Amino acid sequence: MEENGQRPTTHLRFVWTANGYELRERDGDVPGVGDEVEEGEERLSVTKVAPSPLPGDSRRCAYLQPSAERRLGGREAEDEG
């Protein structure tokens, strides 16, 4: 999408956290479905890419969930304890 004839230089990420979802702004192009990205110390998978949920915002938004690797690692860590 274009904004004033130019591509947006940022995108949004709808990020899963233990306390609920957070909407975050990030530089660069939006990652694609199936990509894994880092948010802080977390590794998350892109499950969906859609228009921004903000009215009048032309940016794209990546919806992120914990990656399968992270979920498995969490269960293994609990089983060891």
Q: What is the pLDDT of residues 21-68, one digit of tens each?
A: 999 999 999 999 999 999 988 899 999 999 999 999 999 999 999 987
In a domain, 53, yes or no: yes
DSSP notation for the chain? --BTTB--SEEEEEEEETTEEEEEEEESSPPPTT-EEEETTEEEEEEEEEE-SSTT---EEEEEEE-HHHHHHHHHHHHH-
* 18 lies in some domain: yes
The pLDDT assigned to 33 comes to 97
pLDDT band of residue 1 (cuts 50, 70, 90) is: very low
3 within domain boundaries: no
* Predicted structure pTM score: 0.74
Output the pLDDT for position 78.
Answer: 46
- The count of structural domains within the chain is 1
**Residue 5 covered by a domain:** no
Q: What are phi and psi of 35, to 5 degrees?
A: -70, 155
Residue range of the domain that includes 72: 10-80
